[in-house]
């Protein structure tokens, strides 16, 4: 079978990318232009930092294209960056033309403008005198880009434009204004032309991935975008940190430590790890700003190694927080069950506090903090379902207090967490209404809750991971018509997953009970080894109704209040 070159990857700069008559087209069905000031500012700051540094290069990510011919390419991923750089070049042409119109080195600036246009934008058609383009955007944006931006014409009513067209225009204005405000760039055409042709054209680098058909192009595209934020942030950070070093020995040393760090935390989870590390010091960090924050904080080789060393100290714990079986818990076995609970509850906002508590507290007190945040998470997130956006600032303050010495005991930590501790009355009320679907991952959570309630009722440990009990629905998930008298048909789905309708039952008994009428089920419950199950026929001897379900759940809620309670409340 013949082989073909399905994938070609190499590093290129902006000038090489759009040179030699190449044309790039965004497929008409691709997303619209969406970059805003945050992304424009990041790009502009990168360019300003590179300005005048002839030996420096800066990677701005991957560009995935499908080759339609030697000269024409479809942009599969990277259109936002390519469009923005083209608009920056157009803004420079506008400024140069303004200089020429104002008789500032008029002839030279007209030549500079024409030269930059040929290099980065396209050439003028000799018959129509209309400027052509090297870049064509999607169906929504291309008309505005070609008719207004490429021609350097201002739209009559920018506010009436579609959102993506308006963003294109605002992008043009953003760079035009920055170029004009810069004293050197706004006054000297030679300096401005150098910025575009050299700094932007030669020092901004792409990883160009070229594939030879649509199927392969989208395979690459989906692979990159499946974890778009994580991969791009990790690669950007690595490139930046390595760019701060100049000594070969330092680069080799950092390479070894970087690879070991990623092996511990896993590359796809590295941005999450970095964000929680920084949240020990910063009250709020958006994932999209991670790279910018690190760039602002890390300037020197000393800064690079200080950051890596700090990350190394927390890397193993970060990995262990996602694995109750991790060897890390040999030193702190008392914390293991609460780590498992946080994973089951899918709560991660506690991570900065756990970093801090592990570093400052003895193992026993660390375990007490783990228990505290597990209880708080169960009340706040699992049962009451409150807004999780409020959690990170509170956990940040608690983590910082631990690291700064303002909170030296678990009880003092609780003082900082009290704003997110759901009080007993609210928790009991929410628990009395709590429903949980028993399929998939939620099945483990349901069994965990029932196991805890059973342990409390029977005074014996019921480990939901090893206990052979199954989850029994008193009102079956698929009731027969016999149940209509006690439960209206329209209430079946709602009632079936109320916690008061769930209990633990031996597998054989569960099979015998099945979808049978309540009298058959109650006979199985009376013989069960589980205390919470034996109690059901005591309160509902002859029938199971919506009112009895509610009463049972209220009793379970009263038990839950003291079972899931902070030691310090």
pLDDT value for 63: 87
Residue appearing with tokens 């997110």: 420
The answer to whether residues 75 and 191 belong to one domain is yes
Q: Are 181 and 44 in contact (CB under 8 A)?
A: no
Place of tokens 């509850």: 345
Helix (H, G, I), strand (E, B) or coil at 94: helix
**CA 406, CA 386: separation in Å to the nearest integer?**
28
**What pLDDT was estimated at residue 4?**
43
Find all residues with CB under 8 Å of 566, minimum gap 6, and list them. Answer: 372, 375, 376, 414, 421
CB atoms within 10 A of CB 488: 11
User: What pLDDT does residue 229 have?
Assistant: 41
User: Where among 202, 226, 250 does a domain terminate?
Assistant: 226
Q: Does residue 526 surpass a pLDDT of 90?
A: yes
The pLDDT assigned to 2 comes to 37
Query: Are residue 70 and residue 38 in the same domain, yes or no?
Result: yes
How are strands ordered across the β-sheet holding 135-136? Answer: 7-13, 204-211, 58-67, 72-77, 23-25, 135-136
* Per-residue model confidence (pLDDT) at position 7: 60
What is the spatial distance between Cα 126 and Cα 460, in angstroms, rounded to a whole number? 90
Instruction: Determine which of 2-6, 36-40, 411-415, 423-427 has the lowest per-residue pLDDT on average.
Output: 2-6
Confidence class for position 126, pLDDT limits 50, 70, 90: low
- So what's the pLDDT on residue 447? 96
Residue 208: strand, helix, or coil: strand
* Same domain membership, residue 197 and residue 173: yes
| pLDDT per position as a tens digit, 128-185 | 656 679 999 988 899 999 999 999 999 988 889 999 999 999 999 999 999 999 988 9
CA distances to 38, 39, 116, 450, 566 from 45, rounded to whole Å, are: 11, 10, 22, 55, 48
- Please give the pLDDT value at position 65: 86
Of the pLDDT bands very low, low, confident and very high (cuts 50, 70, 90), residue 238 is confident
Do residues 92 and 128 both lie within one domain?
yes
Average pLDDT over residues 341-363: 96
Query: 3-state DSSP call for residue 460?
Result: coil
Q: Is residue 201 part of a domain?
A: yes
Tokens of 235: 């690669």
169-194 residue pLDDT tens? 999 999 999 999 998 898 899 999 99
Q: Is the pLDDT of residue 6 over 80?
A: no
Give yes or no: residues 213 and 238 share one domain: no
- The pLDDT value given to residue 61: 82
Residues 54 and 194 in one domain: yes
Mean per-residue pLDDT for 5-31?
80
- Residue 54 CB partners (closer than 8 Å, separation 6+): 198
Q: Is residue 2 part of a domain?
A: no
Q: Is residue 339 part of a domain?
A: yes
Specify whether 333 is located in the same domain as 255. Answer: yes
Same domain? 95 vs 158 = yes
- Are 157 and 201 in a shared domain? yes
- Domain end residue (candidates: 174, 195, 226): 226
> 42 lies in a domain?
yes
Q: What is the pLDDT of residue 226?
A: 47
Q: What is the mean pLDDT of the chain?
A: 89
192, 226, 260 — which closes off a domain? 226
Q: What pLDDT is attached to residue 38?
A: 93
d(CA 333, CA 363): 9
Q: Please determine, for residue 223, whether its predicted confidence score (pLDDT) is greater than 60.
A: no
Range of the domain at 451: 431-563
Give the tens place of pLDDT for each residue, 429-468.
999 999 999 988 899 999 999 999 999 999 999 998 899 9
pLDDT of 227 reads 45
Whether residue 393 lies inside any domain: the answer is: yes
Residue 81 is assigned to a structural domain of this protein = yes
Are both 61 and 122 inside the same structural domain? yes
Specify the higher pLDDT residue, 232 or 104.
Answer: 104
- How far is residue 66's CA from residue 74's CA, in Å, rounded to a whole number? 5
Same domain as 541, residue 499: yes
Inside any domain, residue 426: no
- Residue 498 falls within a domain, yes or no? yes
pLDDT tens per residue across span 34-82 = 999 999 999 999 999 888 777 788 888 888 888 888 889 988 788 999 9
364 and 455 belong to one structural domain: no
Domain count, the chain: 3
Length of the chain: 569
């Amino acid at each position: 079978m013949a082989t073909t070159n399905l994938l070609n990857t190499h590093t290129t700069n902006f000038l090489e990318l759009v040179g030699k008559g190449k044309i790039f087209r965004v497929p008409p069905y691709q997303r619209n232009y969406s970059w805003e000031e945050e992304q424009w500012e990041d790009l502009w700051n990168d360019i300003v930092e590179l300005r005048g540094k002839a030996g420096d290069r800066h990677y701005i990510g991957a560009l995935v294209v499908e080759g339609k011919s030697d000269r024409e390419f479809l942009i599969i991923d990277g259109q936002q960056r390519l469009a923005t750089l083209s608009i920056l070049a157009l803004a420079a042409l506008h400024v140069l033309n303004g200089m020429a119109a104002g008789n500032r080195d008029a002839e030279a600036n007209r030549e500079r403008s024409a030269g930059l246009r040929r290099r980065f934008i396209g050439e003028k058609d000799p018959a129509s005198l209309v400027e052509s383009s090297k870049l064509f955007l999607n169906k929504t944006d291309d008309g505005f880009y070609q008719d207004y931006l490429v021609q350097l014409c201002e739209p009559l009513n920018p506010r009436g434009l579609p959102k993506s067209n308006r963003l294109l225009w605002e992008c043009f204005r953003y760079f035009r204004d920055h170029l004009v405000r810069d004293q050197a760039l706004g006054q000297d055409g030679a300096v401005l032309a150098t910025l575009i042709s050299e700094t932007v054209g030669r020092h901004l680098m792409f990883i160009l991935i070229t594939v030879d058909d649509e199927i392969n192009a989208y395979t690459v595209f989906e692979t990159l975008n499946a974890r778009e934020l994580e991969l791009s942030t990790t690669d950007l950070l690595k490139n930046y940190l390595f760019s701060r070093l100049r000594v070969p020995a330092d680069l080799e040393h950092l390479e070894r430590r970087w690879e070991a760090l990623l092996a511990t935390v896993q590359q796809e989870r590295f941005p999450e790890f970095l964000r929680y590390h920084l949240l020990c010091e910063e009250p709020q960090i958006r994932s999209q700003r991670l790279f910018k924050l690190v760039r602002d904080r890390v300037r020197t080789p000393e800064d690079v190694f200080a950051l890596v060393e700090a990350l190394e100290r927390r890397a193993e714990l970060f990995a262990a927080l996602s694995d109750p079986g991790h060897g890390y818990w040999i030193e702190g076995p008392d914390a293991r069950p609460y780590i498992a609970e946080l994973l089951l509850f899918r709560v991660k906002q506690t991570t900065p506090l756990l970093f801090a508590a592990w570093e400052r507290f003895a193992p026993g007190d660390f375990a007490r903090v783990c228990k505290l945040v597990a209880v708080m998470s169960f009340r706040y997130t699992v049962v009451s379902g409150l807004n999780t956006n409020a959690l990170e600032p509170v956990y940040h303050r608690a983590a910082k207090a631990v690291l700064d010495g303002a909170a030296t005991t678990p009880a003092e930590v609780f003082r900082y967490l009290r704003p997110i501790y759901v009080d007993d009355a609210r928790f009991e009320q929410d628990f009395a209404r709590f429903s949980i679907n028993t399929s998939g991952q939620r099945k483990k959570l349901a069994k965990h809750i029932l196991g805890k309630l059973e342990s409390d009722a029977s005074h014996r440990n019921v480990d939901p991971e090893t206990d052979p009990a199954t989850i029994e629905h008193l009102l079956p998930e698929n009731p027969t018509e016999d149940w209509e008298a006690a439960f209206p048909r329209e209430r079946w789905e709602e009632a079936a997953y109320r916690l008061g309708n769930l209990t633990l039952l031996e597998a054989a008994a569960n099979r015998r009970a099945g979808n049978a009428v309540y009298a058959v089920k109650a006979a199985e419950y009376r013989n069960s080894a589980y205390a919470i199950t034996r109690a059901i026929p005591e309160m509902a001897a002859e029938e199971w109704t919506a009112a009895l379900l509610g009463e049972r759940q209220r009793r379970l809620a009263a038990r839950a209040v003291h079972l899931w309670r902070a030691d310090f409340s």
